[in-house]
Every structure is written in C-alpha cells, then in structure tokens.
Chains A and B, each alone.
Chain A
Amino acid sequence: MDSGLEGKVALVAGAGRGIGRACTLALAAGGAAVACVDNDQDRGQAVAEEVEAAGGRSVAVQADVLDRGTITEAVRQTVVAFGHIDVGVDIVGEGRFKPFLDWTDRDFTEQFDVNLRQLFVVSQECLSQMVSQGTGGSFVAIASTAGLGAMPQMAFYAASKAAVISLIRTLAVEMGPHGIRVNAVAPGSTRTPRTAFLDEVERLTHFSARVPLGRRADAEEQAAAVAFLASERASYITGQVLVVDGGSTVQAGRTLDEFGAVPSVPWGDSSRSHQQ
C-alpha cells in the first residue's frame, strides 16, 4: 500500500535535530525527497546524509527562519534540487520559562519571533511556491498543547502557540481552493535534545505519571503525526490541530503545569538554535 508520500518533495524547516530530524526521517521513509533546512549547517547536513545513507534523497540548506531572504533561497534550492515542493513542514520553535511578572519586552518579541513570525515567513514562502505550481500540496506546522490552555511560567510560549493554531485554520480556508491543506500537530510533553533537561525532573517527580499513557512522547511519535498529515492519507483533513499528548489535555480540571517543579529555568538558549 502506498504510504501517501511516495514521490513527494518536502521542505522541513528545523530539520537538524529533535522533532524536525524525526520528521525528516519519517517523510523520507515514506518515499519523499526532503530538503533539510536548518540554521545549523552541520546538523542539517548530518540529517541529509542520514537520509541518503538509508537510500533516500535529500539536500541540506542553511537558512535563518527570521531572515526571509534565506528562506526564499531555501525554497528556490529545493525546487532546483527536486523540481517542485509538495510538502512544507515547520518544526521551528522555542519555549521560555519565566513567571509572568518577570517577562520583558524582549522576551515577548523573541518568543513571538521564533514561534509565530518565523511561521509566517516559512509558510508564506512555501505556500506561494505551491500556489504558483498549481498542483496542490500540504503544510504542517508545530503548535503545542500549550496553545490550548494555560501554561504557567510560559505565558508567551502558550500565547504564540495559540496564534499558530488560529493561523493554520485561516490558511486552510484560504489555501483550500488551491488544493493545499494546512494543519498542525500539537505535541504534549516530548523527549527531545532540547527538553533533555527534564529527564532529571521526570526522575525526581514522575510528572509523566499524570499522562494517561504514563510517559512522555518520543520525537518519532510526533513525527508520525506530521508525516500522516503531510501525506495523501490525510487528503480530506485540513484546518485541524492533531493533538498528540497521550491524553493529557482531556482530563477535567487539570492544568498544564508539568514544568511547575522547575524554577525559572530558561528553556532554549539565546543563540537561537530554533529546534523543538
């Protein structure tokens, strides 16, 4: 049976590690050629080589999601390498921890830049290309369960992810007539290099016991949802947020304070590695 990705060309922003890398590998395993876009040249290249070593097709393109010119160029290079783009995936994002009263103007701007403004840039460049091709396509963004409710100490991470959810709905309506689907995956707590510091918190507090499935997700489990939405298996799904959280958010009265045990630890770093 066709995976629904055979012969497709995908551009993955944030392909260098974590969920982005897992998405790249999942798309390639489904038969898609993948352009690995990352601001870390070495990481992007390593993932592209991983794809090729497994028999797939991939190119690495260095780009900064907050520098539109580099994204335009990444799209162009993808088209040069593979002829067109069918799938756009944007995994870039970053979370910042601070009690609300400590957030600065700069924190706010940086959170919205890295979680929303970059999505505007990446999605607009990818979707413009797809519209000009006239053969449909699919775009998948990464939201978060944080965008569904409160996220104590991560006020503008949550707010920016709520904005992502709104955006993909509007994009779905505008792009639908072009045969282009736009969706998002909302991960719950997921183990990635970026969230590795939580391994110790987990060991001490077993906070994942609150998840009905009793654990955090692997990056591969988020990637599987992204790959599904990107594929033809989801050809009637658009404007949707697929929550992949083991059942965390359905519990009545529960708050998303999984990180409550971690006092004011800056999550992510100021060097903007942009991975999730």
Chain B
Amino acid sequence: MTDLLAGKVVIVTGGSSGMGRAISLRAAEEGAAAVLIADIREEPREGGRPTTDLVAGAGAKYQFVEADVTRPEDLARAVAAADSFGGVDVMVNNAGVFGREDFFEWTESDYDRVMDVNVKGVFFGCQAAARAMRGRGGAIVNLSSIGGIKGGGLFPTYCSSKGAVRLLTYSLGELLGPLGIRVNAIHPGLIDTSMTRVDAPLISEEGESLSQITIPLGRVGQARDVADAAVYLASDLASYVNGTSLVVDGGRTAS
C-alpha cells in the first residue's frame, strides 16, 4: 500500500493552495511521474514555497499551468499540457470557492460566480480529462463537500453547487465506467484551510472551531486527510470504486 500512484500523471485544479496543494504533494510522495498544478495563482494562499517546489522535492516532474476553471479552454489547455508527460491518468477537480452568503441580498453575479467555479469548472474539467482518457482509462476525483450531502442555511449556493458535483460524479461514473474511467467524489467536512479561516471564519487562529463539539473525532480536519482520500480513489486500490462518495469529516454527518 505504498507508491500508490507510481508513474501516473496527475492534474490538480486549484493545486496552489490548501487541499489542492496537499493533494499535489501527496501524489508526488506516492510516486506520481508528474503533477500539473492548474490554478489562477501560483503563490499559495497560506504562504510558503510554490506547490511545484514541493512536488519537485518529492521527486516528481511538475508544471504550473495558469488556468481559470470557469473557462473550458483553460481546462483543455491544462489537460493538453499533460500530454508532454505521457498524458493525464488522474484528474482532480479541486478548485472551488466558498464564503458566507446573505441569501436575501445575494445577486445574480454572486450566484453565477459560485456556480461557475464550483460546478461548471468541475464539469468541463471532467470533460477535458475524459476526452484525453477515452482510449486509455483513468481516474477522476471531484471535490464535493459534506455541504453537497446535507444542506447549510448559511451557504445555500455553495451547498447547491456541491450537490451538483455529487450528482455529476454519479452520472459520469455510469457513463465513463465502461470506458475504464472511474469517477468518484470526496466530501470533506470542516478542513483547516484559507477557505475556512479567511473566506468564512469557521476556524480560529488556534485551529479550532466551535462546531468541533459536533464532530465525533473532536477535531477539525487537515488538508492531508483529504489528500490521503484523493490518493486512495485515484489509485488501483480503488479499482472497483466508481460513481461513489467518500466522506472525510471526522464523523460529523454520521451524527
């Protein structure tokens, strides 16, 4: 159960920061041949060296591809960039936006922004990857959320978008499974990243949250917890796992 992604070419959207950064590094640690980071910015939100540096340090080839996931052509360009490393084997659609929403004041452009990144970005990321994987198989991992299973009154657009990712995943699992392309979703719970510290202040400077009391394991999650799940789903350990959801939330939704 080591070197789980040996020789694979991995693309991670939103790979510069947070969960995407952890996934990119973990993929490299698990023997990926190359990790391509597709993001609108190269500098990590949390500071530190670029994710490509971390990937290189773990022994994988790397490339940063400037890409806005709301533009299908950018996603196609990221997938095309993987060709020079041998072609994409694993596509991780991780880029997403999050923030507190005031439902009664929410505007059309507020709505569109969330849906464009979180749903359209995942949809066309899947399409670009699947087109490349059609003849050779592969794995697609989509980042949903526990908000894509249960609702949240403070985040109705976000939850809607993550629910869409979930059903897109199930649908593509059925469609692409026969082509040897497995498609699965991860549903992180409360994970300690810039999203949950800055975009919506759910986690304190000390790394804690008031809602910890509702989490059976008594702690917020780390980006690395999600990265381990992504690696599992992308690997051959999950060769019969398709069209399903893996919830990484410390037991919160089981309660």
By a beta-carbon cutoff of 8 Å, the part of chain A in contact with chain B is 1-5, 26, 29-30, 169, 172-173, 175-177, 179, 181, 188, 211-214, 217-218, 221-222, 224-225, 227-228, 231, 233-240, 242-247, 249-251
Q: A173-B255, A245-B244 are in contact. Are A238 and B3 (CB under 8 A)?
A: no
Cβ < 8 Å to A, chain B residues 143-194: 170-171, 173-178, 182, 189
> Of residues 236 to 255 in B, which have CB atoms within 8 Å of A's CB atoms?
237-251, 253-255
Question: Chain B residues near A244 (CB, 8 Å)?
Answer: 238, 240-241, 244
Of B4, B177, B249, B255, which is in contact with the most chain A CB atoms at under 10 Å from its CB?
B177
The 9 nearest A-B residue pairs measured at CB: A239-B254, A176-B216, A212-B177, A247-B243, A3-B1, A236-B225, A250-B170, A247-B242, A221-B240
A residues less than 8 Å from B237 (CB atoms) = 224-225, 227-228
Residues of B within 8 A of A (CB): 1-4, 29-30, 170-171, 173-178, 182, 189, 215-218, 221-222, 225-226, 228-229, 231-232, 237-251, 253-255
A231 to B215, CA, bound (A): 20
Residues of B within 8 A of A29 (CB): 1
> Which residues of the partner chain B approach A235 to less than 8 Å between Cβ atoms?
225, 228
Q: In the assembly, what is the distance between CA of A188 and CA of B222, in Å?
A: 31
Report the Cα distance A37→B42, complex, angstroms.
52
> Smallest distance from the beta carbon of A250 to chain B beta carbons, Å?
4
Interchain CB contact under 8 A, B238 and A250: no
Q: Which of B3, B177, B217, B245 has the most CB of A within 10 A?
A: B217
Q: Which of A1, A26, A218, A236 contacts B221 (CB 8 A)?
A: A236
Taking a contact as CB atoms under 8 Å apart, the answer to whether A246 and B177 are in contact is yes
Chain B residue numbers with a CB within 8 Å of A242 are 241, 244, 246
